[in-house]
Structure formats: C-alpha cells, structure tokens
Structure 1
Amino acid sequence: MRKTLLAVAVLGATVVTPASASASEPAWGPCPAGAFPTPDLQCTTLKVPLDYRNPDGRKIDIAVSRLPSKHPEKRRGVLLTNPGGPGGEGLDYPQLLKLVKLPQDVLDSYDIIGFDPRGVGHSTPVTCDLTDEQLAIGNLPYANGPADVVKQAAVAKAEAKECTAASTASMLPYVTTANTARDMDRIRQALGEPAVSYLGASYGTYLGAVYTTMFPERSDRFVLDSNLGPGGYDIDAMRNFGRGMEDRFPDFAKFAAAHPEYGLGTTPARVTAKFHELAARLDKTPVDWVTGSAFRGLTFEGLYATNLTRLAEDWQALDQGRAPKPPGGSVSTSVQNLFAARFAVLCGDSAWPRSVAGYQLDVAVDRIRYPLIGAATANIAACAFWPSAPVEPKVRITGRGPANVLLVQNERDPGTPLAGARKLRAAFGDRARMVTVDQGGHGAYLFGPNRCGNTAVTEFLGTGSRPARDLACAAETT
C-alpha cells in the first residue's frame, strides 16, 4: 500500500487563468500534525455530500492541503495529487513530493494540492473495529491448500460482518473511487479553477483515470505513475500481484547473489531456492511474528523499494533465526482506518466472486502460475462476503476526451505490473502516451534514478509536451 524526448505533441501551453474567487473560497490555516513536519503546507476542510445522488443529504468532511507556488507570475494552476492506497492518507503528500525533489519548475507552475480521500485520515473516517488478530493476518494470507482457503473464508466473513456492524457502516457504500473523483471536482470548484492537473501513483492512477473519464473537460495535464489496469482494484488486479512479484523478484535474486555477505546464495537460482526453503521452514516454525505467510508478504513489500538492502538484511536475520523489526507497532486507529477504507473501496467499486470453491480453484492455479506468492494473492477476502452490491456501475475508462494523459511505468513493478499498465494504456487509446522505464520497484517518477523517465514527466507537467509516441527508457544506474 506504500508507495516517479522524442518529437512531442504540444497540448496547449497557454496558461490557465483561475476563475474569480467566490464567497465560499476556502479559509486556509495550519495543518494537523502528521508523520513528518509540514512547514510549507496550508490546510482547510470542505463539506461534500456523502451520497451525490442526494446532494442535500448528509455531508462529510474532506481535508485538503495546499503547497502554494511562490512565483505567481509562473503559476499555471493547481496540481491535485494522490499517493495511492486505497486507504492511504494524502494530506502530507505535497510536502513529501517537495522532499523527494519535485522539480522547481513544477513547484513554481502549480499550487500542489493534497487531500485525505473520503473515509480516510482527517477527512470523515471509517472504521471496521477489527481485532488485532485480524489485522495481523494482513492483506495476503498464503493458502497452502484448499483447507486454508476455507479457514480464510471464515476470517473474511467475520471481517465483512464487523465492518457492516461498526459505527461508520452507513458510510461504507459511498466510500468509492467514483465518489472520491466527485470530491476532487468539488475541490476544483472550491479553488475556483476551471480545470485541474493531476499526479497520482499506484491506486492513485485509477483514481486519476476515473476523474479524467468522468470530467474530461475539467482535466488539464494528467500523470499516472505505476498503473493499475482499467478495472482498478478488482479480482484481476489482486491476482496480478502474483505476476508482479515474478517480474520483480529476479532483480532481488541477482542483487543477493552479488552480495555474498548476506549468505543467501551465490547464484540467482540459489537465492530463489532459499526463498522457498525459508517459506517452508517458517510455515512449520515461525520466528516471532514471522510465519511463512508473513515472510512471503514481507518479501513482496520489500520488492517495492529501489534499494534492496533492507530486504536482504531481513532474509539474513530470518535465516539465522532472528526476527526482523515488525512493519509497525501496536494496532492504531490509523491502521484500523486504512483497512476499513481499503475494504470499502475494493468492495464498493467491484462485484467480487462469492464462491469459496472458485477461490480454491484460483489458488490452485496461481500457486503453479505464480509460485512465489500466487496462492496468497488469489485467496479469498472480505469482499466475497460484502452484504451490499456496488451502488453504481463501475466507470469505464475510454479514449473519450482530450489527449492529455501521460502514463509512466517501471517494467518490473511488483504492485502494479506492466501487464496492467498496458491494458490501461489501451483503454485510453490516443488520449494517452506511456513512458516505460527499464527499472524495478514501485514508483517510477522521482523515486528512481532514470533521467529519461523523470525528464519526460517533468517536461509534460511543465510545458504540456509529451512524447509523440510511447517511449521506452533504457536502464540507468545514476
């Protein structure tokens, strides 16, 4: 959940002039305390309908932040952002982008806008009141056989029941990607802007794709980094995690083999064998909190990073009988909120299969197809037991609208594999171009060293120029 030229086609380089301020212009003030200091950010709160079909009904809060351009004479407009999720907070994201060196030209050209999506963080939050044990299972419980799917089905059914019995259950059907896109348009209106640009990563690519499909005439320059397929986080995307790990793992196997100090194997084949050996050993005898399932998940998440040193150190510790540092401390309100918001979006966006036998078959297939983690990513989850169907049809991503979308994608991304990005690129048709970068990890723009990919995105955000055709960037090490 964690979380980056050839001949060009110019997409309108004229400056977008903000609409005149209205009486309801947001009142900006200090931001709430976050994970790291936000000295440059300003924050406000907007009221939006819980259910847009009933705009005069119940209202909820959306927390919004702004990193203002310090050069009004260069300012083009606003750049909405989303770091991914679903369930991830985005209020601090503009500050984070500045810390990872979002180019000064981009900082000058836009007010960078962050927000906590509906149901998340400082926006009106949702909860499921899950137990510590349920949260500890995580999102990817590995199934060694059909009986494990039945066992996980009982857990998933209980999670769905607790979500729909919690104090915020009435909100859950409306915490969806389409409604978050509508919230984004309310942010646009509140800022007095005729159109918005956008930079979204991971799940944020699907959110951006939905917004620019629903509101094409209000979309300026849209950058989608590390792309989900056009169906968002549906069952296909979950099973695609298995493919993503297969794409990325060879990079780690090569890295570990080149560093004999970790003792994980002297060739990539031996490192791969060590993975299966450790997983089997931990299935039988966990080390502290690390079971075989947790080890597979730890490895999957470690592959998101560009630097693979931490993952190698964790493997070394486990091989020596020592537990690595847990991914988090005690269960907190924010973790509860993340799981609840994630369930709401996944289960509210898509109708999921409900047959336990069907998931058993999927697990058996993906254990062979994606042997590293496929039997986890195909396993059953709470959406199979969600009591309500989605309140509206899924938004269909199409090529209708201006040619103003740029996809940037690592070739070996474990979380949003290239296969899904290609499907999104095809769905957009001539609206989009895609920059594919020969590197691994989750996050292409700014989070990797590839100058070709980074330059293409910065050029598009700054000038509106994008490659005349899809661009492939060769590997770079510095």
Structure 2
Amino acid sequence: MRFGDCPDSVPEPPAPDRVECGTLDVPLDRADPDGRRIRLAVSRVPASGTPAERRGILLVNPGGPGGSGLPYAVTKRAKLPASVRRAYDVIGFDPRGTGRSGPADCGAMGGLFEQPAADPVPVGERAERAYLDSLDRLAADCARGVGEALPHLSTTATAHDMDAVRAALGEPRTSFLGVSYGSYLGAAYAAEFPHRVGRMVLDSVVGPWDWYDFDVRQSRQLLRQRAVFFTWAARHASRFDLGSTPADVRAAYERTRRNLAARPQQGFGAAEFDRAVYRALGRTERWAPLADGIRAYLRDGDAAGLRPAEPFDNPASRTFEAANRTVKCADGPGPSAARVRADLRRIRHADPLPVLTGMEASACAFWRHRPEERTRLGSPAAPPVLLVASEHDPVTPIEGAHRLRHRLPGSRLVTLHDDYSHGVFASRGNACVDEATAAYLVDGQTPAADVHCTGPGLPGPGPSTP
C-alpha cells in the first residue's frame, strides 16, 4: 500500500506528527476474489516514539455503522495518552460503504430526508401503516441505489477488509480500538481472525444481539436517561426555568414537541426535535444546551437553539444513514413487520412519547436481501481483550459489555461508575480509565481483575445563557 497526501476531510495533526493516506483494493464478495472490487480509503499517523517503543498498528473505528474512520486516525489519536501515541501507528479507514470506500447511496430512503419529516411515533392503525410503508420504501430505495453490493456491506466483510489492511501493512497482528459500533466490528474481527488479534479495546460495547433487538433495548434505556434529564433540569430550575419538578420539565418538553409537530419551523418539526434529543441524551455535556433550547423556544418561539450545526441532509449524513441501514440489514435476519408493529405498541405503552430515532433496523423487516446467518462475535481462541463501559450509557447499555465478555474468555471490563455518557476511553477525561487502558495497550497485560473507576456524576447546570 502506498501512502501520500490526504483529502481535505482529514485534518492535519499537530506538529511534528504527520498524516498520510492511501487506498487498498479488496473484493466486493470474498467468495469471488476475481470479481468486482471496492477501493478502501486508509489513513496513517506514524508512532512518535522510538523503534524500541513501537508496538505495531492500532486500527481505530469511531462507530456507526456508517461512520467515516479516515479522519479518526488524527482526531482520536490527538486524545490518546502519550504512551499510546508513542507506541502505535494509528490507522484509520473508511469501512466499505462509508466515506470514500464505495459509499452507499440509498437515494431518498423512503422520505427520510424530507423536512419536516412525518412524526416518527405512529399513533393509531393508519399512522402505523404509513410508518411501515415508509420503511418498505426505504428498503426499496436501498435495493435500487446500492444494487449488487447490498449483501456485501456487512460487518463480517469489513472485518476481512481489516485483515487485508493488516496484511498490506506487513504486520503480524492487528491491535484495535473500536468505539460503539466499533466494538461490534472488533468482536467480529476476533471471531474471524482470532490468531491475528493483538491488543483490542472495545469501548461503549454493543452487545451480542441482533441489531433490531439492540435497537429495542436502546430505546428503553433512552427513556430512563430522559427521565434522569428531566430530574436534573428540575434540580436546576433557577437556571433553566422549565419547572421545579420532573413532571414540570416533562410538560415543557411535551409542549415543545407538540407545538413543533403542529407548526414546524423552517422544516424543523417533531422528527427533527426527536433527533436532537437523541443526540443530546448520549452525552451529558449536551444536556444544558438542550434545556436552553427548549426554554428559548417556549419563551421566544425560536427553535434555533435546538437545530443541529450541520443540516441532516448533507452528503455525509446521507451516506451515514444509507450505510447504517445497509450494514445492519446485511448482518443478520431482520424482524417481521408484525414484530415491528407490536414493539412500537409496547414501547408506547411504556411511555406514550418515546424516542425512536435509533430504531434503524426496523427497515430490515422489508429488506430485499435477507441473510440467513448472524454475524459471529468473539472467539475462545482470541486473546483476552479489554472492554470499557459507562455505567449509565443510554446508547450502548452496559449490559452489552457483560454479555459480550462471555464470547471473549479472560477479558476484563473497565467500568466508569456514576457516568451517563457514551464514549469513555480518551473521551471522558477520566484518569483511572485512561491509565488502565493505556497500560494494557502498551504493556499487553490485561488487568488481574475488572477495573472500577469513579465517574463525574451528573453535570452542573453550566453558565447561564441569554
């Protein structure tokens, strides 16, 4: 593999580090090595230490599925402890179907990018039929847009691509840092290539469930997290002015959503509000901006504080959303339409106003390619790995880490207790987590026992805004 200049999407690292980029051609279908090929985009930031300090390559993945990993070699590396930066060439790559690696294109995706979109919480028989119809149209759009690649944009195929990158770099082992979906990808690599695993950190772990089952679990955890948010905002009533009880804050929240559903503001309606809430609930530093945005809307009628910085229908988002569904639906059998409808009713029974933004695998009920096998995760033949989890992460609930470790015997779990955010190592600024994980990556020894770290608890209210 030859390396050279990187595209503009890859930032320059701080001097004296440098980043370089290259490509690698791999078969679309590994059962047909002489057939159509996909060109993978790869980036590399060389280790900054001496040759004696070098431990090899550290592939990194930011999550998704659908996330572009090409710039992640620079952005994540900048946050890694110095000992890890000195030890590893950090390798980023766009998984197949994402970024610059044969990006998936599902076109309109059943109207997903229409703004304002239809209310994502269907109420009543007619709304449920419309919801299921939109999923059917999404699946049809992906079948047309992605075409013959539809079965091959899977996690297992990406795991084989990772090993092709390893081989092209001339390395005997792959060390890996995967966050969120990256943990699922790492577990798939361990299943396919257990004897090629070096040191592997799986952060914010996706459990070993079918994607649809995972999405349902996540939706329930989001309800619990939102209740914590309501209590937190009420505790800081003098700062946010949304009410002094959780019920008051919920009423303000419901009023905001109801008004936006009835009178969308420049394409920002109920679906767009739910998307903003979904994003905010995953990181506690986003709670104050969400509360401020609700207050400003109720006070001034202006939803600007709730809008994302980037429009939802930008090219990167379109690729992400297409790749997300395509990968999830390629990874194993999807649910039936009847189950999707039944689960919608169960979730609404638990709470009449759930956040369903993360239920991407519902589209797999109508997918035009329906795989018979599930993605294999973990292997007793792989060396022990390190799992890292936040105790109250609503995006990848900690139960997933406990379940996955059974597929990876001898592995250890680093838990950040009293924490409510997604993404932990070299992300939360917790010395206990970072030091334990860095020691494993550099020295290669798993801890003698699970590691328990004290988290920051709930955030303060932050400075007042106008």
Same-fold status (TM-score > 0.5): yes
Q: Secondary structure at the match of 1:85?
A: coil
* 2:83 is equivalent to residue 98 of structure 1: no
The answer as to whether partners of 2:56 and 2:88 remain within 8 angstroms in 1 is yes
Structure-1 residue corresponding to 2:453? 473
Write the letter of the residue equivalent to 1:329. Answer: P
Counterparts of 1:330 and 1:408, CA distance in 2 = 30
Would the aligned equivalents of 1:63 and 1:123 in 2 still touch at CA under 8 Å? yes
Comparing 102-111 with 300-309, greater Cα deviation is found at 300-309
SS in 1 for 2:326: helix
Q: What is residue 178 of structure 2 aligned with on the other side?
A: 200
TM-score, normalised to structure 1, is 0.87
> How far off is 1:254 after superposition?
4.0
Q: Which residue of 2 aligns with 1:34?
A: 9
Structure 2 distance, partners of 1:317, 1:155, is: 33
For the 8 Å contact 2:380–2:407, the answer to whether it is kept is no
Query: Which shows bigger deviation, 310-319 or 321-330?
Result: 321-330
1:92 touches 1:114 (CA, 8 Å); kept in 2? yes
Q: Does 1:367 align with 2:342?
A: no
Farther-moved stretch of structure 1 (177-186 vs 264-273): 264-273
C-alpha displacement of 1:304: 1.7
Distance 1:129 1:202, change over 3 A: same
1:277, distance to aligned residue in structure 2 (A): 3.6
Q: Where does structure 2 lack aligned partners over 5 or more consecutive residues?
A: 460-466
State the partner residue of 2:422.
Answer: 442
Amino acid at match of 2:341: Q
68 and 365 in structure 1: CA distance in 2 versus 1, 3 angstrom threshold: same
1:415, distance to aligned residue in structure 2 (A): 1.2
2:92 to 101, 114, 130: 114
Q: Which residue of 2 aligns with 1:244?
A: 221
Deviations 1:273-318 (A, max 9, x none): 4333433343334344332333233112111223122222222233
Task: Output aligned runs, 1:338-353, within 5 Å.
Answer: 338-353=320-335
Say what the alpha-carbon RMSD is for the aligned residues: 2.5
Does 2:315 align with 1:333? yes
Aligned match of 1:15: none
- Structure 2 match to 1:184: 162
Q: Work out whether residues 235 and 352 of structure 1, in 8 Å CA contact, stay in contact via their aligned partners in 2.
A: yes
How many residues matched? 447
d(CA) in 2 for partners of 1:371, 1:395: 33
Over 3 Å counting, the alpha-carbon distance change for 1:247 and 1:471 in structure 2 is: farther
Is contact 2:81–2:426 with CA below 8 Å preserved after alignment? no
Query: Distance in 2 between the 1:139 and 1:106 partners?
Result: 46
Q: Which of 345, 348, 354 matches 2:336? A: 354
Q: Which of 288, 297, 304 is the equivalent residue of 1:309?
A: 288
1:210 paired with 2:192, answer no
Q: Distance in 1 between matches of 2:361 and 2:374?
A: 21
Counterpart CA distance in 1 for 2:322 and 2:74 is 26
Corresponding position: 1:170 with 2:148: yes
34 and 460 in structure 1: CA distance in 2 versus 1, 3 angstrom threshold: same
Out of 187-196 and 293-302, give the one that drifted further: 293-302
* Secondary structure, aligned partner of 1:408: strand
Equivalent of 1:384, from 362, 365, 368?
365
User: 1:144 offset after TM fit, Å?
Assistant: 2.8
- Residue 77 of structure 1 and its aligned partner are, at CA, apart by 0.5
> What displacement does 1:27 show?
1.1
Alpha-carbon spacing, 1:370–1:218, altered in 2? closer, same or farther (3 Å):
farther
Specify the SS of the correspondent of 2:452. Answer: strand
Tell me: CA distance 1:426–1:149, structure 2 relative to 1, closer, same or farther (3 Å): farther
Residue 412 of structure 2 aligns to a residue whose secondary structure is strand
- In structure 1, what residue type is equivalent to 2:451? L
Structure 1 residues 247 and 433, CA gap change in structure 2 (3 angstroms): farther
Aligned residue in 1 for 2:463: none
8 A Cα contact 2:333 2:374, kept in partner: no
Distance (Å, rounded) in 2 between the aligned partners of 1:124 and 1:78: 24
Q: Are the counterparts in 1 of residues 340 and 362 from structure 2 also a CA contact under 8 Å?
A: no
Query: Equivalents in 1 of 2:393, 2:455: separation in Å?
Result: 14
Amino acid at match of 1:214: E
Residue in 1 aligned with 2:53? Answer: 74
Counterpart of 1:253, as a letter, is F
Give the match for residue 12 of structure 1. none
For residues 449-468 of structure 1, the aligned pairs below 5 Å read 449-468=429-448
Once the 2 structures are TM-superposed, how far is the Cα of residue 448 of structure 1 from its aligned partner? Answer: 1.1
Secondary structure at 1:467 match in 2: coil
- Deviation at 1:179? 0.1
Local SS of the residue matching 1:222:
strand
Residues 131 and 181 of structure 1, relative CA distance in 2, 3 Å threshold: closer
Aligned equivalent of 1:10: none
- Give 1:324's match in structure 2, choosing from 304, 329, 338: 304
Match of 1:17 in 2: none
Residue 45 of structure 1: aligned partner: 23
Find the aligned partners of 1:32 and 1:139 in 2 and give their Cα distance.
Answer: 36
**Native 8 Å contact 1:213 1:398 kept in 2:** yes
- Match of 1:457, SS state, is helix
How far 1:198 moved relative to its partner?
Answer: 0.5
SS state at 2:92 partner? strand
Structure 1 residues 128 and 251: alpha-carbon distance in aligned structure 2, compared to 1, 3 A threshold: same
Measure how far apart 1:259 and its partner are.
5.0
Deviation at 1:110, TM superposition (A): 0.5
Paired residues of 1:367 and 1:375 also in contact (CA < 8 A): no
Preserved contact between residue 300 and residue 414 of structure 1 (Cα < 8 Å): no
CA pair 213-160 structure 1, distance change in 2 beyond 3 A? same
Seen in structure 2, the aligned counterparts of structure 1 residues 344 and 380 have a Cα distance that, compared at 3 Å, is: closer
Equivalent pair of 1:152/1:380 in contact (CA under 8 Å): no
Aligned pairs for 1:354-433 (under 5 A) are 354-355=336-337, 357-369=338-350, 373=354, 381-390=362-371, 393-428=373-408, 430-433=409-412
Return the structure number with greater relative CO, CA threshold 8 A, min gap 6. 1
